[in-house]
Chain A
Amino acid sequence: MSAGTLYDKVWALHQVAELPGGSTQLFIGLHLIHEVTSPQAFAALKDLGLSVRHPESTVATVDHIVPTTSQARPFADPLAEEMLATLEANCAEHGITLHGLGSGRQGIVHVIAPELGLTQPGMTVACGDSHTSTHGAFGAIAFGIGTSQVRDVLASQSLAMGKLMVRRIWVDGQLQSGVYAKDLVLHVIRTLGVKGGVGYAYEFAGPAIEALSMEERMTLCNMAIEGGARCGYVNPDQTTFDYLQGRPFAPGGEAWDRAVAWWSSLASGPDAVFDDEVRFDASAIAPTITWGITPGQGIGVDETVPTLEQTDPDERPLAEEAYRYMDLQPGTPIAGTPVDVCFIGSCTNGRLSDLQAAAAVAKGRHVAPGIKAFVVPGSEQVAAAAEAEGLDQVFTAAGFEWREPGCSMCLAMNPDRLEGRQISASSSNRNFKGRQGSATGRTLLMSPAMVAAAAIAGKVTDVRQLLTV
């Protein structure tokens, strides 16, 4: 059993009570809500005659259903309009802060909470969205929950949870140029499998992790859930503190020093005991891309689609299903696969540094004929920062569309979606069948720079070739 890890310390501090049935009641320090998974929870609360226990620890935004072309109200889609109106009414009724459209703070929930300084080390963070693991980048214990649990957190600011085991993912070495946190996490998931993390919290540590920026750490923790781990985290360090200092909801003045002292004390100590440890070498990782229908079906861009013989016997039925669905031939190189749509955005890779990396590839080049390419900043703040540097100009000059913030084509809840058998190069996090809005649409997951490279070439391309020219 793990001991002395950040996970153990944060868990112990937030334990409220032991519940009948053996689970633990865990206090939730920050509850993030959005329009998709909260309306039924508010309705259930009303049915029970309950109110929101800690509205000041509850923060809302709107992201999944917002259109990325025109965000004028009312939305063209009446269902989307109803969802946002319901969220607005619920927040007003319960005194919950809503960072809505045009506030300058709206955006994908996992982008805005960190950039506003709401997410801090040592917190427990819950949100009705599986990619809540993102917030673990700060050394918070953050996990996605279902709507019944959203109701529970609204009612009691706590959750019934079982304690996870802790696996340390130790990464030595250094990522090469053209290789990003997205490639690292796709590589980890490819190696450990989409079920490898079930029952675990992933602690990402080691020299390669310490060298990552906060935004890269967010990309990494964001996809812990795709590896089956309910949460992933990085121990807080100077990088974390530098990122947080001066943000609107971060501690200020002399409270800042107390905060840093406490945050520093939370990191897993040298004597920490882990339930498991796996080691990787960052320098050996190539730009990584998925070829199949789960995030675990990834390969280096210089590799070929695995044959059945190269596939673990257990995984063969899934591989066969993926060959059929993706229409890719085992044994053929993934590089050169033609794409139709190129999407840069999402809570995985819709932050400023992601757009900078993609813009560096797009600059002075042009999207290949017939390719639809678009960039969706993760938040209003990201959009403003990118525009201040002229990234929007770089993208539009290169033939990309520059859109309004939202979840966009990460999932099919807004007008952005694949049509028919279209195949996308996408910086998002899920390549499940039908994920991007067409029941037969296909998704190749990769880093934002790789998406930009695919847009320029019209086909899957090793971005390192474009960076060295």
Chain B
Amino acid sequence: MATPFPFGPIPAVTGTAVVVRGDDIDTDRIIPARFLKCVTFEALGPAAFADDRAELADAPAGPHPFDRPEHQGAAILLVNRNFGCGSSREHAPQALMRWGIRAVVGESFAEIFYGNCLALGIPCLTAGHDLMLAIQAAAAADPAAVFTLDVAAQALSGAGQSWPLELAAGPRQMLSTGQWDATSQLLAHGADLEATAARLPYLVTFAA
């Protein structure tokens, strides 16, 4: 069964890995729009990559990685360039999280997707092109291998190897200290908030 949703400090993520190859995998593919008709995120897990999975169900090369028995329960998603581009829907990281993903490693991420993941406590770390291909190859060669993604050390290890990754200092600190959930931080500056509002001409001098 999937581990609990992220909570508190996230020094590391440990689990098996699943490789989803390809550049520019957009949020419509991660969660097709028809699944956005919901008022809670609860039921999204099984719908992750729904259309890609259906398309590959009977493919000669075998089903989508999310449908392969050896990847059930995987916690680390290994992707390529510009993953999560397209819409701002948080349904995309929510679907991945509810499927079981707790960390993503890729060549690059679309900004809104990256921010949405961070807000859920899902670290997204990056690796260069060749390094990423090496990581994906190692994970694909041994689907049972357990990997550990160390957030502070910015590294992935497993299958007898270790690879350096990158994560900006800000998110690294937020994840390590458990301050990735922004709401309380934002509310801590109530006086500054009102001071800012008070100097905005459109709220003060010429407000309708």
Minimum CB–CB distance for B31 against chain A, Å: 11
Shortest distance between the CB of A463 and any CB in chain B (Å): 27
Scoring B residues 177 to 208 as 1 if CB is less than 8 Å from chain A, else 0, what string do you get? 10101110111010011001101111101111
The answer for the CA separation of A39 and B37 in the assembled complex, in Å, is 11
Q: Tell me if B120 counts as interface (CB < 8 A to partner A).
A: yes
Whether B36 sits at the interface, judged by CB under 8 Å, is yes
Choice from A15, A80, A146, A318 contacting B112 with Cβ under 8 Å: A146
Closest to A124 in B: B200
CB proximity to B under 8 Å, residues A229-266: 230, 249-252, 255-256, 258-259, 262
Are the CB atoms of A146 and B116 closer together than 8 Å? yes
Q: Nearest-CB distance from A118 to chain B (Å)?
A: 9
- B193, A439: Cβ atoms closer than 8 Å: no
Query: In the complex, which residues of chain A have a beta carbon less than 8 angstroms from the beta carbon of B33?
Result: 411-413, 435, 437
A132 to B24, CA, bound (A): 21
B89 on the interface (CB 8 Å rule)? Answer: yes
A198 touching B202 in the complex, CB below 8 Å, given contacts A22-B173, A156-B186, A160-B182: no
Choose one: B23, B119, B183; the contact of A155 (CB below 8 Å).
B183
Q: Does A469 contact B (CB under 8 A)?
A: no
**Cross-chain contact A317 with B41 (CB below 8 angstroms):** no
Against B, the Cβ 8 Å flags (1 = close, 0 = not) of A1-31 are 0000000000001111101111101010100
Contacting pair A259 B196 (CB below 8 A): no
Interface residues of B in 156-183 (CB under 8 A from A): 168-171, 173-174, 177, 179, 181-183
Q: From residue B169, how far is it (CB to closest CB) to chain A in Å?
A: 6
Pick the residue among A19, A157, A159, A255 that contacts B206 (CB under 8 A).
A255
CB neighbours of A195 from chain B (8 A): 24, 81-82, 85, 108
User: Which of chain B's residues have a CB closer than 8 A to the CB of A421?
Assistant: none
> Does any Cβ of A come within 8 Å of B54's Cβ?
yes
- Interface residue from A37, A80, A252 paired with B37 (Cβ < 8 Å): A80
Q: Is residue A388 within 8 Å, beta carbon to beta carbon, of the partner chain?
A: no
Task: Tell me the A376-390 residues at the B interface (CB within 8 Å).
Answer: none
Q: How far in angstroms is the closest Cβ of chain A from B88?
A: 4
B150 at the interface (CB under 8 A from A): no
Contact residues in B for A82 (Cβ distance below 8 Å): 39
Q: How many angstroms from the CA of A172 to the CA of B90 in the assembled complex?
A: 38
Residue of B32, B37, B185, B192 contacting most chain A CB atoms (<10 Å)? B37
Q: Out of B54, B170, B183, which one reaches A151, CB within 8 Å?
A: B183
Most A-side CB within 10 Å, residue of B87, B120, B170, B197: B87
Number of interface residues of B (CB under 8 A): 65
Tell me the smallest distance from the CB of B91 to a CB of chain A, in Å. Answer: 8
Instruction: Tell me the complex Cα distance, A144–B87, Å.
Output: 9
What's the nearest-Cβ distance from chain A to residue B24, in Å?
Answer: 6
Chain A proximity mask over B25-62: 1 for CB below 8 Å, otherwise 0: 01011001110111111000000000100110000000
Query: Smallest Cβ distance from A421 to chain B, in angstroms?
Result: 13
Question: A39 touching B51 by the CB < 8 A rule?
Answer: no
Measured between alpha carbons, how far is A80 from B82 in the docked complex, in Å? 31
CB-CB under 8 A from B179, the residues of chain A are 20-21
Which chain B residues border A122 with CB–CB below 8 Å? 201-202
User: Contact: B197 with A157, CB < 8 Å?
Assistant: yes
- In the bound complex, residues from chain A placing their C-beta under 8 Å from that of B203 are 29, 57
A148-B120, A160-B182, A430-B28 given as contacts; is B39 within 8 A of A129 (CB)?
A: no
Min CB gap B106→A, angstroms: 13
Q: Would you list the 10 A-B pairs with minimal beta carbon distance, nearest first? A: A148-B119, A146-B116, A22-B170, A255-B206, A146-B90, A147-B90, A156-B186, A144-B88, A439-B51, A39-B39
21 A-B residue pairs with Cβ-Cβ distance under 8 Å, sorted by A, are A25-B185, A29-B203, A36-B89, A82-B39, A148-B116, A148-B182, A152-B183, A152-B186, A158-B186, A158-B193, A159-B182, A195-B24, A195-B108, A228-B85, A249-B208, A258-B201, A258-B205, A314-B23, A318-B24, A413-B37, A439-B32
- In addition to A16-B193, A27-B193, A146-B116, 18 A-B residue pairs with Cβ atoms within 8 Å of each other are A20-B173, A21-B170, A22-B168, A40-B39, A77-B37, A83-B37, A83-B39, A132-B88, A149-B116, A156-B186, A157-B193, A251-B206, A255-B205, A258-B201, A318-B23, A321-B22, A411-B33, A432-B86
Interface of B with A (CB < 8 Å)?
Answer: 22-24, 26, 28-29, 32-34, 36-41, 51, 54-55, 81-82, 85-91, 93-94, 108, 110-112, 115-116, 119-120, 168-171, 173-174, 177, 179, 181-183, 185-187, 189, 192-193, 196-197, 199-203, 205-208
